[in-house]
Amino acid sequence: MKSGRHEALDGLRGVSALMVVVFHSTFNSHLKLLPLIQNSWLFVDFFFVLSGFIITETYLGKIRRGGDLKRFILLRLGRLYPLHLAMLGLYVAYEIAWALLLKDMVPGGRPAFEGANSPGALVASLLLGQAFGLFDHLLWNPPSWSISAEFFAYLVFAFTCLLVRNMRLVMASIALLASLLCLWLGDFENQTFLGFSRAVAGFAIGSLVSQLRADLGGWSDGALSLAQLACALLVIAFVSSSTDAFLWLAPVVFALPVAVFASDRGLLSRGLRTRPAQFLGTVSYSVYMVHFFVLMLASNAVAALQALLKIDLKAVSAPGGGENCSAARSSRVTPGCCSTSCWCWPRACSPIA
């Protein structure tokens, strides 16, 4: 750990962001048929767990000692909102260009400023209301549902710090209740309605890891390396084989590597502390928030090129890679090419995160 940072966890955050990008990637290949890639939308839950761990470690004592709640909220908003606002600006500019210039260049062009890109959806996005069931589809920049949900988790954490003494018991209760809500409503993948619950469950579990994590300083590097390898294999196996009945366990599974890699020692940690991994961790939030816009531009450019050259580029699909474009409320789709209508409106293909 350097300058108060968990460098191995920074590297894992970058890897998780890359997995989400690969899941949404527009180019089809045999790689995307791997179960690990098809289910890699689950790595968003790693973000929630890691956030709970880091925020608790950094702010729990400060807020409980009478720290400025307003300052905490403004700092977190300042971390999330500027890029979110910039991306909304890009989407609005693109929507205007679509209405004036681009719509006729793509076969089956959709109406502008409707559906996910309606003015009402823009207001909800500006107010970070994407993850609370206000709409039955993802809005504007689809990955932004998770920052809406995470900011809500920040508020839950901050007020819990101020109002209760036994944080461990309360965070355990919050994690259990949020997970049960996902189970009761039966759709862990639906961010437009249950996004806030997923975030709170993961954040609370990450907070518990921060408060309960055993001191691993006495472990040898060899023991830590074995534990890290076991955690990596567990995550790969879980993500690759997850079924609907066990999706709610994702935050629990991701909590284990957060606890083990936080020590910054061990063989795998050394790999995650290399300069490329650290760079990926540093830009992970930007990559996460920007990637879908880039993929959308690429998909529409390919669609226009298809129409111009009268060729069929089946090697490229729309972001989200969904074979069923009506699944706009779900976060998980099977990689494959979308129908023609989804070329011009790739977000109908149900991205996640």
Which residue in this structure is represented by tokens 């050259």?
309
Mean residue pLDDT across the chain: 80
Higher pLDDT: 174 or 192? It is: 174
Name the pLDDT band for 80 (thresholds 50, 70, 90): very high
pLDDT (tens digit per residue) in 104-133: 666 566 777 887 888 988 999 999 988 887
Site of tokens 């989400």: 20
The answer as to whether 104 is a domain residue is yes
Helix-helix angle 119-126:69-97, to 10 degrees: 160
Question: Is residue 2 domain-resident?
Answer: no
Kindly state whether residue 11 falls inside one of the protein's structural domains: yes
Structural domain for 340, as ranges = 7-349
At residue 37, the pLDDT reads: 87
Number of domains making up the chain:
1
Distance in angstroms (rounded) separating the CA atoms of residues 262 and 110: 47
Per residue in 280-313, pLDDT (tens digit) is 999 999 999 999 999 888 877 777 777 677 766 5
DSSP result, 198-250:
HHHHHHHHHHHHHHH----TTS-HHHHHHHHHHHHHHHHHHHHH--GGGGGGH
* Helix runs in the chain, H state only: 7-24, 35-38, 44-64, 69-97, 119-126, 145-163, 167-185, 191-212, 221-241, 250-261, 267-272, 275-282, 284-309, 340-344
Q: What is the pLDDT of residues 13-30, one digit of tens each?
A: 999 999 999 888 866 677
pLDDT score at 352? 33
How sure is the predictor about 208, in pLDDT bands with cuts at 50, 70 and 90?
very high
Residue 1 placed within a domain: no
On whether residue 133 sits in a domain, the answer given is yes
Residue 242 lies in a domain: yes
- pTM tops 0.85: no
* Residue 328, in any domain of the structure: yes
Q: What are the tens digits of pLDDT across the range 135-149? A: 777 889 999 999 999
Is residue 191 in a domain? yes
Torsion sign across C-alpha atoms 60, 61, 65, 66: negative
21-30, 244-253, 260-269: range with highest mean pLDDT: 260-269
**Which pLDDT band holds residue 65 (cuts at 50, 70, 90)?**
confident
Q: Do residues 159 and 60 touch, judged by C-beta distance below 8 A?
A: no
